[in-house]
Amino acid sequence: MNRSDLTKLFKAKAVSLGFGAVGISEAVRLNEEAVRLQSWLENDFHGSMNYMENYREVRDDPRLLLDGAKSVISFAYNYYNPEFPTSKCGLKISRYASGRDYHKVLKAKLKRLVRAVETQIGQFRYRAFVDSAPIMERAWAVRSGIGWIGKNGNLIISGKGSFFFLAELIVDIELEYDSPATDHCGSCRLCIDACPTEAIVQPFVVDGRRCISYQTIEHKGELDVELASGNREWIFGCDVCQSVCPFNRFSVLHSEPDFIPKETIGKLGKADWSELTKEQYNQIFFGSAVKRAGYEELKRNIKHITDQSDRR
């Protein structure tokens, strides 16, 4: 097959597996993006996410992830559900964690895609990623023409919104490359003004330490009460900046059975959350991305919200 036919093959297989967008870019070093990342790290906006400092050269250059890398294929997969997985006492979990762990779902789809392509062209060298390696996912999605990075740091897809998971394949095949996406946020600052903890310190720059998603998922140990004071309902993640984004008026319900919210969450009351045992935690969130927080951290988050509620 020529480059055009190979490109069409990869994209067609991706669409058949449910991916909402796919784009391709040349595997090169991300020079401009590397500079921005360095500035973000120097400002300590990554907080305790020390892994962001590791493997910098690898993060900047996909050719260090796969010998002979020629192309980076970026994918986006819809997870939008208009209903939050909210318990009957108002505690919320981010939409993306409402069903089965997306890492497992999308990794399986990427493997199916590779197998489908290999049946037609033979084996090729590749590596598949779903938020699982030092690779700048959003930067590659922009370069591949899928969307642009909004002022809240999320990738926005024109006509579709931002409720999408990202994934990548680095392959040793030369393909046709898409043009980078351009920014369409304009003068809008709804996400900046809506952030409960003022984590978006300037357009396109998020202080991770202030972000509710960071506080409730990545941060270990005791919460900084001052930084977390704006969080009054989220026990895992936060969707506020996405919910107010005008481009998410285009969001449509996903069609992935694995992402259907667990009914158990909606039945839990305040006492159920406060008295949640390790066994119950493992049962309710089995196979869920919520396990990323850990039992002790989830209990910490629950206590923070319920304590604030008691004081109001």
What residues are annotated to the active site?
A: 131
Q: Distance between terminal CA atoms of the chain?
A: 66
- Single out the residue of 251, 154, 163 nearest to residue 199, CA to CA: 154
Tokens representing residue 170 in the block: 């680095």
Tokens of 195: 């952030």
Question: In terms of C-beta density within 10 A (0-12 exposed, 13-18 middle, 19 or more buried), how is residue 191 classed?
Answer: buried
Q: Do the Cβ atoms of 27 and 58 come closer than 8 Å? A: no
Q: How far is Cα 274 from Cα 291, in angstroms, rounded to an integer?
A: 17
